[in-house]
Amino acid sequence: MQAVDHDGAMNDYLTDERRKIPDAHLHSVCQLKQGEKTCRYIGLVPSLGFVCAKKTPMKKMLDERATEGKMKAVGDNCEGLGK
């Protein structure tokens, strides 16, 4: 999955530093590497590291994939980061 769509809007969302997940939050709340408990909204951006995709247009697609059993990480563990 890429972070770029036709008009580049996803890059604007995912490179927003307010979405960067602090290490403590990543492990205690997002539950990185905890199988099904892991948050479905974790993304990885080379310039920032781990970011939250919950409050982005990707949310709907990630929710659908989780509901359809197409993802191992299906957690929905907090209100999300960013606007």
**What pLDDT digit, counting tens, does each position of 7-44 carry?**
556 677 778 899 999 999 999 999 999 999 999 999 99
The whole domain housing 53 covers 9-67
Q: Is residue 83 part of a domain?
A: no
Q: Is residue 3 part of a domain?
A: no
Q: Is residue 82 part of a domain?
A: no
Q: Is residue 28 part of a domain?
A: yes
Q: Is residue 55 part of a domain?
A: yes
Q: Is residue 14 part of a domain?
A: yes
Q: Structurally, how many domains does the chain consist of? A: 1
User: What is d(CA 68, CA 34) in angstroms, rounded to the nearest whole number?
Assistant: 20
pTM of the model: 0.85
